[in-house]
Structure 1
Amino acid sequence: MRGCRGSGHHPRAADRMARRAAAHWRQARVPPVRGGIRVARSGEVRGWRAPRCRCRGRPVHRARGGRVMNSPRSRHQTERFGDQSGWRVAVVIPARNEQDRIRGCLDALAASLARARCPGGIVLVVNNTEDATAAMARDWWGAHPDSPGILLDCESPADQAGVGWARRQGLDAASAQLPQDGILMTSDADARVDPGWVAANLAELTQADLICGTVRPMEAELSRLPDAFGRHGPREGAYMQAIVRLISTLDPQPHDPVPAHRNAAGASLAFSARLHADVGGMPCLPIREDRVFVGNAEARDWRIRYAAAPVVLASCRLTGRTGGGMAAALRARVEEDDPLCDELLEPARTALLRYGLKGQLRRSWPDGALVGVLAPHLPPGHDRGGHFGAFWRLVENTLPGLRPIRLRQSDLPAQQKILNDWFAGQSPGRERT
């Protein structure tokens, strides 16, 4: 068996390969490798540690001579549908236990791709699912032979089963399908993209490098949430709007002069294959992989735009597929009397300091006086000749006054008043001070 072909071993085949590997190691008098099947010199199988296969991302064991053995605890099956040539756009979807929603998700994506009239396809990563998600996806493609797609049906160890890992596998596979100037997009299996979502993303990418689209709740599901949810939404939304206004006032960006929001959500991202390669791909994190990815792009000075036009409708379920995410946030707002706010919502004075300093540093970068004043307070070896985003990340991580502080809902009225008073005190010519 060569490379990464096939979807796994029959148990007896795995046992035979383990015994052969043990005999090979004893004869060659070399210790077992750290990854793959761990075999004692007696031939006893002692467990499994899975390195990564760089060709398709599957855990493998590489014995001497280049032979490859699949992990008995891992499975990675790739299936292709429709025309695989000439893709310009690829939309990546992670899915786990989504049999009730996957058909609607794929229907919406196919309609949006068709409306955009741009050749491309869907890359669906079904990871550690316990239901019929993969089977339903196969049936869907069987009924839509003109919709190009790739299905990655994976079963991975628990430490590789998160949404970040699934997105990464899908984006890597999609990148291999695209030219260097191709476009990658991501959404979620429990979401429905707007018919104009793909086209809107392509239009926005003429203005910036990474597009964070608008994620709205599905109205029918929102209306079924308990009444307790409504206690917090308006107050949190008003403070979020104030923070967005503050950012655009103190640190305006020519490629995003009036941001619609500040939500970096995997449910609606669009970016070039070049950006994806430059930032090292999607982080393999169980939660927040989307925000970390966007932060990594900002640190490399890619232009980020928080756009209104690309719209995705997200589910309002209270039990999600990860330990955090939107479902956990919704559940907290229903069940808790004083839940935490979104992490972007920080104390008003901290936000004034953060974005005021960031805007001044950006305007004076790289040789301004303020940059020179801060330099002695930063760790040695920082590079003022590199990316502004990386320098700013260093400043944020170093200065105590910029450490993140999470607010609770009960904190918002006082913080809203501080920002309202600050805006009221700004004349049109003084808002950047």
Structure 2
Amino acid sequence: MPLSGTRVCVVVPVRNEAENIWDTLDALRLQTDNKGHKIDPNLYEVLVLVNNCTDASFAITKEFQYKYPKFRLHIDQIQLPDPLANIGTVRSLLMDEAYRRFMLISNEEGIIASTDGDTIADQNWLYYIMSEIDKGNDAVGGRILALQQSDTARLYHLRDVTYRCLLAQAESLIDPQLHDPMPRHFQYFGASLAVTCKMYQLVGRLPQVPNLEDMAFHQALIRHDAKIRKSFNVKVYTSSRIQGRVDIGFSEQLRQWTLDSAANKTQQVESVEIQLRKFKLRKRLRKCWLEFQNRGLPQQELIDLASLLKFKIEWLHTQFTTAPYFGILWEAVEKALHQAHWQQSQRPQPIMKAIHELRTFIHDHQATVFQIDPDDNFLFVYKANA
């Protein structure tokens, strides 16, 4: 049973991480606040589930537990059958157990934080997670920085990060959210995420999918209008291996970028024009939704929106009146857009062209990209492409 004062339960799925798990656990043991003071060890605990291993991961984790008995580390191991031997199952088991433990002490505001067995948390990782939750947020996504990338994959990765961070800034300029102001990033992935128990239960817990479970969970949070803060202060450093432990994930993306670089393949991304149009549409729909919640559905605006989107007004009216959350309304509209005329115009474009277009848009709005961490890979691209 956890201590009554426990605020955070960190979950760590481990599969064949003998080379990394000691450093992962040590980084969690040595967490400090923003002034360098050690975080009270009674405020958090760590759950490790060693699954389907063929190396010494479990023995090393037990050795760590023996060496640091005051560190609140709980370890278990499991051998899952093939259909269930995936990261989705393991992370779900861990997060459900973290939730169960918080319910034992009746703490629905308890924070479930997730990282990975090949990842090193920044020394202030827990401090900034707790700080963001204390501001009223339901969930936190942290930056995930890659370690020791190959030169070929690194360039593709940095371009991708630049594009997505610029897109996040453009999104904030068009459709700002008070709980997630600039500077903000784009990531909510398993190596660095957190959520309150209350929100975890509300959205139906972690979706039962074999992989990309973090992305599916992110979508569930959006559907329920969760306040998700994507803070640059919350960050981890993860392995940049190209032979990963999952079929789909960061390691697979790095491998693909390496192959694309060798083939001199132009990096393609979603059309900036389409993305900006979506942000503007979402803002307009959100305004209409809020007016509907407060004063009733604005009929003329509904007619104008239906005409703009080429939707039947009856269909749009039904979405507004039946969706319990704006996120569910937007998901329905976005799905309909993909199935209709917008799908044909969604042609990808070269990433450098997209980056240029986003920089121009941001400059025209008298805003600048701002990143307080000089070690973040995001900045290096600006220096390289200046």
The bucket for the TM-score relative to the shorter chain is 0.7 to 0.9
Q: CA deviation at 1:277?
A: 0.7
The equivalent of 1:415 in structure 2 is 354
The answer on 1:210 being equivalent to 2:139 is yes
The equivalent of 2:265 in structure 1 is 338
Q: Which amino acid aligns with 1:354?
A: K
From 85, 93, 105, give the equivalent of 1:169. Answer: 93
What SS class does the counterpart of residue 134 from structure 2 fall into?
Answer: coil
Rounded to whole Å, the distance in 1 between the matches of 2:68 and 2:244 is 29
CA distance change for structure 1 residues 121 and 406 in 2, over 3 Å: closer, same or farther? farther
Contact 1:259 1:307 in 2 (8 A): yes
The equivalent of 2:31 in structure 1 is 112
The equivalent of 2:370 in structure 1 is none
Scaled by the length of structure 1, the TM-score of the pair is 0.71
Contact 2:11 2:94 in 1 (8 A): yes
RMSD: 2.6
Rounded to whole Å, the distance in 2 between the matches of 1:339 and 1:115 is 46
Q: CA deviation at 1:253?
A: 0.2
Computing the radius of gyration over CA atoms, which structure comes out larger, 1 or 2?
A: 1
Contact 2:170 2:361 in 1 (8 A): no
Rounded to whole Å, the distance in 2 between the matches of 1:396 and 1:126 is 39
From 195, 209, 220, give the equivalent of 1:271. Answer: 195
The equivalent of 2:330 in structure 1 is 392
Q: CA deviation at 1:383?
A: 5.2
Per-residue CA deviation, residues 254-285 of structure 1 (Å, 9 max, x unaligned), is: 01121421111111111111111111111232
The equivalent of 1:41 in structure 2 is none
CA distance change for structure 1 residues 287 and 371 in 2, over 3 Å: closer, same or farther? farther
From 202, 205, 212, give the equivalent of 1:288. Answer: 212
Q: CA deviation at 1:298?
A: 1.1
The answer on 1:128 being equivalent to 2:67 is no
Q: CA deviation at 1:152?
A: 2.8
What SS class does the counterpart of residue 159 from structure 1 fall into?
Answer: helix
Contact 1:152 1:170 in 2 (8 A): no
From 101, 113, 126, give the equivalent of 1:198. Answer: 126
What SS class does the counterpart of residue 271 from structure 1 fall into?
Answer: strand
Identity of aligned residues (%): 25
The equivalent of 2:20 in structure 1 is 101
The answer on 1:92 being equivalent to 2:11 is yes
Per-residue CA deviation, residues 221-278 of structure 1 (Å, 9 max, x unaligned), is: 23xx2x3234434433432233122100111000112142111111111111111111
Q: Which amino acid aligns with 2:141?
A: C
Q: CA deviation at 1:146?
A: 1.0
What SS class does the counterpart of residue 131 from structure 1 fall into?
Answer: coil
Per-residue CA deviation, residues 83-106 of structure 1 (Å, 9 max, x unaligned), is: 843232100011111111111111
Q: Which amino acid aligns with 1:338?
A: K
Q: CA deviation at 1:210?
A: 0.6
Name the one with the larger helix percent.
2
The equivalent of 2:378 in structure 1 is none
Unaligned runs of 5+ in 2: 368-386
CA distance change for structure 1 residues 120 and 339 in 2, over 3 Å: closer, same or farther? farther
How many residues are aligned here?
336
Q: Which amino acid aligns with 2:140?
A: I
CA distance change for structure 1 residues 402 and 303 in 2, over 3 Å: closer, same or farther? farther
Unaligned runs of 5+ in 1: 1-82, 429-433
